[in-house]
Amino acid sequence: MRLARAAAGAAAAIFIFAACAADETPEVQPPVETQEDAEASPAAPEDATVQAVDSEHGMILADADGRTLYVFLNDEGDESTCYDSCAETWPPLVVEGEPGAGPGVDAELGTSERRDGSQQVTIDGSPLYHYAADQEPGDTNGQGVGDRWFVVAPDGSPVQE
């Protein structure tokens, strides 16, 4: 009798385990992107930090929302010299992680650490900024301000016109 109960209990346990296992849907893991894959393929437009857009100044760089990006000729290499009230007028383009280049961006993106520890996006080593007076995507009100601030061509060069 004990043997029959033990066998019945074991059978019930196997049945319950099998029923639970059948109800479980295996978790599908997304493919793992290798560093080589990431370097070989440009960022998808929705993942791009910086993109090339058409403007009255030709093709220039903008952020993912289409807001124009600028370089400051007073910066020293990849180090920003724009802080405090300057950074209120010219907010830096910052990211967490690595910046992504959208189609048409021909220069190398990188980052430089700011005093507050945030990572400012750079293009060929030059820090990138927005201009507070640009209200809409496509505005280029900061072009040529003080003969030091310029929109940026997709190759990373300032558009000095």
Give residue for tokens 């010219």.
Answer: 90
Residue 38's SS3 state is helix
Q: Which amino acid does the sequence have at 13?
A: A
> Looking at the chain, which runs of residues are DSSP E strands?
50-55, 58-63, 70-72, 94-95, 109-113, 119-123, 126-127, 149-151
- Which pLDDT does position 18 carry in this prediction? 38
Residue 8 has pLDDT above 50, yes or no: no
- Residue closest to 51 by CA, chosen among 155, 158, 159, 154: 154
Residue 47 — very low, low, confident or very high, per pLDDT cuts 50/70/90? low
Residue 17 — very low, low, confident or very high, per pLDDT cuts 50/70/90? very low
Residue 23 has pLDDT above 80, yes or no: no
What is the tens place of the pLDDT at every residue in 108-133?
999 999 999 999 999 999 999 999 99
